[in-house]
A = this chain, B = another copy of it.
Amino acid sequence: MDIEQYMHTLGQQAREASRAMSRADTKAKNHALRAIATEIRAASDTLKQQNDIDLEAGKAKGLDAALLDRLELTDARIESMAEGLEQVADLPDPVGEISDLHFRPSGIELGKMRVPLGVVGIIYESRPNVTADAAGLCLKSGNATILRGGSEAINSNQALASCIHRGLAQAGLPTTAVQVVETTDREAVGQLITMTEYVDVIVPRGGKSLIERISNDARVPVIKHLDGICHVYIDGAADLDMAEEIAFNAKCHRYGVCNAMETLLIDSAISAEILPRLAKRYAAEGVELRGCELTQIILPDIKLATEEDWDTEYLAPILSIRIVEGLDDAMDHIHQHSSGHTEAIITENYDRSRRFLAEVDSSSVMVNASTRFADGFEYGLGAEIGISTDKIHARGPVGLEGLTSQKWIVLGSGQVRR
């Protein structure tokens, strides 16, 4: 198989399909989404059979239990994919939305129209449900998409691709609007991320190393999410009961998620009062604490945090704690160590809340709320294709709107430049 030729064919087909998708009306797109959901439910047995082949191969290859778990398609997960597609059908269609129409002194009427990006390439790892989720979001936002899943999920993904193609056909949309790469050759990724003539944006979903590799080699723009080293800063003027609840929730609600707090910053003025209370809560959950030297004075039994701790996304029941001298010191720490995902301040001080909001340069900045709210569903985006820690184009949770751009439109009545 000539991978370059194969990928270029996919690219050409996607580019062609993207024209049809950009003019597809909301009704046709929703028809397709619901038809795919129905096909997925109906193909449940086939999906599980194909998934079994992947699971067997994975076991034979010695994949670890966590990976095998992510790879598995259960009845519940199949139903959840179908429901996800129906939820995307229920979301408003962003395409064609016209905003800011106004007359200019020249007499032209100027506005912006929301339009699909064109062709979206998604590169992901073992979870086959991404195939349905990503296809659904791209479809609804009027994009064509090329999906490249992990090699360990190839049979599951191809079975899902069949369901997607049948659904697209039923709605009269081109089946090439969603193409799932059929080869596990790595060269296919190399092609996908450099075919600037066919692909408008790449969304990598997976671990940090995957995303870094893709960002380094891509010629196509990448909407990327590296790590989530999120901070909560408990200000001297915080409501300490509130601070305790938020600092507890931000760490303990779920550990393995990018919007979990990894470092807690505490104003020295209230550290002696709040730290023992928090330490008790964390201890009850089995969270390991690592602190700066000042923290160790208050909590003598904990480990000393190293420089590396401040730059680590634990994704685990571990928390680093630093006592700081007020807002500027806290923001300096954040500036140096944050990954630009989400930071929160707990304070009742008006001026410091405004400064934190304005000066902290992260995709989500919060006052008196848990970092765990930084999420497409909590933000009302309906679904998310990822959380961008980039500053260009999409920032924070990326939903349907992040898969679109705006073009200028001009409505005239014969105006010419003088």
Contact = CB atoms under 8 A, between A and B. Distances in A.
A373 interface: yes
Interface stretch (A175-183, A245-253, A280-288): A245-253
Q: How large is the interface on A (under 10, 10 to 19, 20 to 34, 35 or more residues)?
A: 35 or more
Q: Chain A's interface: helix, strand, loop or mixed, by majority? A: mixed
Contacts of A391: 117-118, 200-201, 405
B369 A412 contact: yes
A108 B373 contact: yes
A113 interface: yes
A63 interface: no
Nearest to A375: B417
Contacts of A412: 366-370, 373
A375 B48 CA distance: 56
Interface in A373-405: 373-374, 378-380, 390-393, 395-397, 405
Contacts of A380: 104, 110
A396 B106 CA distance: 18
Contacts of A249: 416-417
Contacts of A118: 361, 391
Nearest to A391: B405
A407 B365 contact: yes
A391 B117 CA distance: 6
A6 interface: no
A287 to B, nearest CB: 16
B411 A368 contact: yes
Given A363-B408, A380-B104, A416 B19 contact: no
Contacts of A415: 368-370, 373
A298 interface: no
B113 A23 contact: no
A344 B410 CA distance: 9
Nearest to A362: B407
A370 B378 CA distance: 44
A209 interface: no
A67 B124 CA distance: 49
Nearest to A113: B357
A359 interface: yes
A409 interface: yes
Contact of A106 (B359, B378, B408, B417): B378
Interface in A168-196: none
Interface string A53-90: 00000000000000000000000000000000000000
A335 B306 CA distance: 56
Given A359-B22, A370-B415, A417-B253, A408 B379 contact: yes
B416 A405 contact: no
Contacts of A219: 216
Interface in A192-228: 200-201, 216, 219, 221
Contacts of A42: none
A369 B410 CA distance: 7
Given A357-B409, A364-B409, A395-B405, A372 B416 contact: yes
Given A357-B409, A407-B396, A414 B366 contact: no
Nearest to A396: B408
Contacts of A216: 219
Contacts of A379: 104, 110, 408
A1 interface: no
Interface in A325-377: 335, 344, 355, 357-359, 361-370, 372-374
21 contacts: A19-B361, A23-B355, A23-B359, A108-B369, A113-B358, A216-B219, A246-B414, A246-B416, A249-B417, A250-B416, A253-B417, A361-B407, A363-B408, A364-B407, A368-B411, A368-B412, A370-B415, A372-B417, A373-B410, A373-B417, A391-B405
Closest 10 CB pairs of A and B: A369-B412, A249-B416, A372-B417, A366-B410, A242-B414, A368-B412, A393-B393, A364-B408, A370-B416, A221-B392
